Amino acid sequence: MTKNRRALITGITGQDGAYLARFLLDRGYEVHGIVRRSSTETFERISLIRDQVYLHQADLLDQLSLVRVVEKSQPHEVYNLAAQSFVPTSFDQPLLTGEFTALGVTRVLEAIRLVDPSIRFYQASSSEMFGKVQEEPQTERTPLWPRSPYGVAKVYGHWITVNYRESYDLFACSGILFNHESPLRGKEFVTRKISDGVARIKLGLQKKLKLGNLDAQRDWGFAGDYVRAMWLMLQQDAPDDFVIATGMKHSVRDFCEVAFGHVGLTWQDHVETDASLLRPADVNTLCGDPSKAQQQLGWEPEVSFAELVRMMVDADLERAAKEAS
Ligand code: NDP
Ligand code: GDR
C-alpha cells in the first residue's frame, strides 16, 4: 500500500484512465481526475469507482483550468492520458488534434512547473510515432516516422516531455505504449469493433461487420497490464522513457479469426471490407521490444493475445445479451 500519495489523472473517463484509477485506488492513493463539461455525462467507465475519486472540471485547451486543478489537488504524480486518441479523426480534425494531443502536453507541464516542479509526470506516448517503421522490433532508440496528424502530435508530446526533463529537471517520463485493449476500449477502435460485432452477430442483432485494412498488424496487449507499467515508471529513482509492448504482432485478420472462432463462427462468412474505412496513410505493422521495461521496471505483460480477444468477446456477449433481452 502507498499511503498519503495523491495522483491526478487527465483522461480519467477514458479506457486507460479507468484502469489506472482503479489500480491506484487499490494501492491506497487519493485519486483525482480531470473531466470535461458535457451536456451528457461520459463517466460510464468509472461508474463503479465514482464515489472513490475526486473529479475536477478542466480542459487541455484551458491553461488556467489546469493550473487551478493542480493547485487544488496537490498531486505527487500526474498522469497525462487525455488526448484526441482516434487516428481517423485526426485526419478530419488535424488542428484540434494538435491542440489536445500536442500542445495539451505543454499546458500540463507548464501547470506543474508553475505550481510544484517536484510533481512526477507521466506522458502517454504512442507506438503511432514509429508509423512507417524504420526497424523491427521498435525500441526507445528507433527513429520516428509518424503517419497521421495524431502520430505527429504524439511526437511533439514525447519530445516536449523529454525537453522539460532536460531543461527544468522535472521528473517527466514518456511511456511509448503499443496498442492495448480491454472490454472498456472505445467501440470505434478495431478490436472492440470486432468483439462487439461478433457478439451482436452471434445473438442475431447484426448480420455483417464492415472493416478496412485487414492486413494491418499490431502488437496488442491488455490495458490492465499497461497501466501498471505507467505507475512503475514514476516509482523509479530517475525519470526515463520506456517502450511497453508484448513483442508479438498479429493482423486484424488474425483478430477476427480468434474472435469469431471463440463463438463457433467463421469470420469469412460475416466480415466485409469497406474502402471508406481505409486511411489516407496507414501504419501497416508495429511490434515493440519491451526489453528495457522488463529489465529496469521488472514489467511483464500477463494477458496473452488469445486471452485478450476472448475476454473482450465474452464481455460484449454479456452486454449484447442484456440489450437483446
Ligand atoms: P480514450 O480515447 O479512451 O480516452 C481519452 C481521454 O481523454 C478521455 O477521458 C477524454 O475525455 C479525454 N480528453 C480528450 N480531450 C480532452 C480535453 N481537451 N481535455 C480534457 N480531457 C480530454 O484513450 P485511451 O484511454 O485508450 O488512451 C489514453 C492515452 O494513451 C491517450 O493519450 C492515447 O492517445 C494514448 N495511447 C493509447 C494507446 C492505446 O492503445 N489505448 C496506445 C498508446 C497511447 P472524454 O471522456 O470527455 O472524451
Ligand atoms: P490504431 O488503432 O490506429 O493503431 O491506434 P485502431 O484500432 O483504430 O486501428 C488499428 C488498425 O486496424 C485497421 N482497421 C481498422 N481500424 C478501425 N478503427 N476500424 C476499422 O474498421 C478497421 N479496419 C481495419 C486500421 O487501419 C489500423 O491499421 C490506437 C489508438 O488507441 C491510438 O490512440 C494509440 O496511440 C495507438 O493505438 C497505439
- Ligand nearest 225 Cα, by number? 1
pLDDT at 2: 63
The pLDDT tens digits for 268-300 are 999 999 999 999 999 999 999 999 999 999 999
What domains appear along the chain, each with residue ranges and CATH number? 6-180+221-244 (3.40.50.720), 187-218+249-286+303-324 (3.90.25.10)
For residue 14, pLDDT over 90 is answered with yes
Cell 507499467 found at: 229
CA of 82, closest atom in ligand 1: 7
- Residue type at 65 in one-letter notation: S
Q: Is the CB of 180 under 6 A from ligand 1?
A: yes
Residue located nearest, by CA, to atom 29 of ligand 1: 81
Q: Residue 183 pLDDT > 90, yes or no? A: yes
- Mean pLDDT across the stretch 147-163? 98
Average pLDDT over residues 182-195: 98
Going from the Cα of 179 to the center of ligand 2, the distance in angstroms, rounded, reads 8
- pLDDT tens-digit series, residues 114-148: 999 999 999 999 999 999 999 999 999 999 999 99
pLDDT at 253 > cutoff 90: yes
Q: Ligand 1 centre from 140 Cα, in Å?
A: 22
Q: Choosing from 150, 156, 164, 226, which is the catalytic residue?
A: 150
Among protein residues, the one whose CA lies closest to atom 20 of ligand 1: 59
How far away, in angstroms, is 189 Cα from ligand 2 center?
A: 5
What cell was used for 18? 479507468
Res 225 pLDDT > 90: yes
Pick the catalytic residue: 77, 128, 148, 181? Answer: 128
Question: Does 79 qualify as catalytic in the annotation?
Answer: no
Instruction: Provide the pLDDT for residue 325.
Output: 85
Tell me phi and psi for residue 133, to 5 degrees: -65, 140
Residue whose CA lies nearest to ligand 1 atom number 13:
82
Burial class from Cβ neighbours inside 10 Å (0-12, 13-18, 19+) for residue 128 reads buried
- Looking at residues 203-222, what average pLDDT do you find? 98
Specify the pLDDT at position 294: 98
pLDDT on residue 42: 86
Catalytic residue among 65, 85, 125, 126: 126
**Alpha helices for 74-148 (secondary structure H):** 87-92, 94-97, 104-115
1 pLDDT band (50/70/90 cuts)? low
Residue 76 has pLDDT above 80, yes or no: yes
pLDDT at 144: 98
